[in-house]
Amino acid sequence: MSEAPAEIVASARAAGRTLLSEVESKALLAAAGIPVTEARLATSPGEAAAIAGEFGFPVVLKIASTEVAHKSDVGGVLVGVADEAAAGEGYDGIVAAVGRAAPGATVDGVSVQRQAEAGVEGIVGVTSDPQFGPVVMFGLGGIFVEVLKDVAFRLVPLAPRDAAQMVREIRGLPVLEGTRGQPGVDLEALERLLLSVSAFIEAHPEVVELDLNPVFAYPVGHPAGGAVAVDARVVLGEAVPA
């Protein structure tokens, strides 16, 4: 499934949705050159096994439902799926778990994703300020963002200098630079990611909010590349009546 960006937005609009699914969000972002882990929708255990086989192992399975906000809280995420048989069984297991924990939620199927190697967790996002318009955010994941709210913002469009300052002005910078024998991550890859998000927002004024959470950041020269968004959530603005 690789819909063109315009079709993704149009089909969400047609269904009266402003929240895109993870699969839709990632397809839209990938088309704009933003590194995301590839995700495809399976609507049956057999399809899940086939997609997983195509991707290679391990894969991650996640419930596909725009009505479930916190997928892992309802048993909707399975990581480290090692073979095709496990992918098929995992499909059924996830759908059943979500059915128990969130009865009545509409389920579109299960998204099958390449499993990214764990990296330093960051968060990248966009929101729209009523006074200044779209802004890009960068921070580290976990307690840095949840408790300390250690995040940096800049107005769209970002200049290269803005992106460079953002990754360096957070208090958690030493975590990115490497501590206790851990190598530092590729800061320039994070800067490129921020710049490509800014360009994406300029090209898609219909997108009013965006979360890439988490983003995994890797050391320079890591085979997985510099940084990749593992989960994505795109929110469209209310459709302007024609």
Partner 1 sequence: MTAVPPAVGRMPVDRARLDRMLNPRTVVVVGEKGPGYQFLKSQLEYRGNLYSVQIDEKEIPGIEEMGVTNLSSLGDVPGEVDLVISAVPRPVVPLITRQAIARGAAGVHFFTAGFAETGDEQGLALQEQLLDLLREDGMPAIGPNCMGVYNRALGLRFHPAQDVGGDDPEEGSLAILSQSGTHGVNLTVGAQRAGVRVGRTISFGNALVVSESDLLAYLRDDASTNAIAIYLEGVREGRRFFELLRETARLKPVVVWRGGESHAGARAVRSHTGSLASEKAIWDAMVRQAGATPAGSLDDAVDAVAALAHTDAPSGRRLALITMTGGQSVAITDEFERAGFEVPELGAASYETLAQFYNVIGGSYRNPFDAGGTIRELENLGRLLEVVEADPAIDGGVAIDLNVRLFADEPEQFTRMLDALERFREQSGQPVIATLHVLVATLQMTDREDESREAVLARAREQIVGRGFAAYPDFRRAAAALRRVVDYQEWRSATGGA
Question: Where along the sequence are the contacts to partner 1 (CB under 8 A)?
Answer: 18-19, 123, 125-133, 135, 137, 139, 145, 149, 151-155, 161-162, 165, 209-211, 213, 233, 235
**Alpha helix positions (H), the chain:** 5-14, 22-31, 45-55, 84-101, 143-146, 160-169, 173-177, 187-203
Which of 126, 189 has the CB closer to partner 1? 126
Q: Classify the phi-psi angles of 4: left when phi > 0, otherwise alpha if psi is within -120 to 50, otherwise beta.
A: beta
Residue partners of 70: CB distance under 8 A and separation at least 6: none
Q: Cβ 164 to partner 1, closest distance in Å?
A: 9
Nearer Cβ to partner 1 (57/153): 153
In the complex, the smallest distance separating the C-beta of residue 182 from partner 1, rounded to whole angstroms, is: 26
Q: Give me the residues paired with residue 206 across strands.
A: none
Q: Which is nearer to partner 1, 149 or 180 (CB)?
A: 149
Instruction: Write down the residue that tokens 């939620």 correspond to.
Output: 105
> Minimum Å distance from CB 179 to partner 1?
21
Q: Which is nearer to partner 1, 38 or 165 (CB)?
A: 165
Burial of 135 (0-12, 13-18, 19+ CB in 10 A): middle
**CB of residue 131 to partner 1, shortest distance in Å:** 3
With residue 139 as reference, give the H or E element that holds it: strand 133-140
Q: Which is nearer to partner 1, 81 or 213 (CB)?
A: 213
CB of 116 to partner 1, least distance (A): 19
